[in-house]
Amino acid sequence: MKSFWQLIKTSILTSSVFTINYSAIAQNTAITQPQPPKELERLEYFQGTWRCQQPAAPTSANSIFIWNVRRGLNDFWYVGKAQETRAPNNAKPVSSQEFIGYNGASKKLIRSTIVGDGNSYNMTATDWKDGKLIWEGILFRMGTSTPLRQEIIRNSQNKFTATYFIPDRENKWKPAVSETCNRLKSSYSARQRFKYLSTS
């Protein structure tokens, strides 16, 4: 029968062998760095700086804001920041920040937005179809949650119109507010222009 010290010694030697073998395997295994998903190309149109107004076509806009969208977080996300410059009824202007990306598990575009008035919403979309991108998700406001839908129509390389919908009493989508966004010319890259012209 082995003594206690012999058992300890055997255990230490065995552990050392496993440790060395594991280290050798780890050193021989190539580390694959994650890459931004190619599906982010579906969102490239939005990159830049936009001037947006609500409603979409009023005699005088109730709300005007600047929306800036850039690639961020090691290029895995589009990061959007909006700052209201004119608020309705002289209310305090609000700002928002959002993260727009792609979920490889659900195979959908994802969007999470936090607003400076306490509201937030999470939405998903698939892809552009006939110049339209449809987001659907949930709006969280004042302790309640409401289904939310946004339809974005790409009017041109420098302009899009967006309409937000909420359910009516029959759970059918009804328009709640619309907005028009115009790109500030200097923010549109040559690559984006070429890509838009080649797909339009």
What is the pTM (predicted TM-score) of this model? 0.75
Angle (CA) 158-159-162 rounded to 5° is 150
Alpha-carbon distance 138 to 167, whole Å?
11
Alpha-carbon distance 46 to 159, whole Å?
10
Tens digit of pLDDT for each residue in 125-167? 999 999 999 999 999 998 999 999 999 999 999 999 999 999 9
Residue ranges and CATH numbers for the domains of the chain are 38-199 (2.40.128.20)
Alpha-carbon distance 127 to 118, whole Å?
29
The continuous run of DSSP H or E covering 150 comes out as: strand 144-156
How much is the mean pLDDT over the chain?
83
Instruction: Give the number of other CB atoms < 10 A from CB of residue 181.
Output: 21
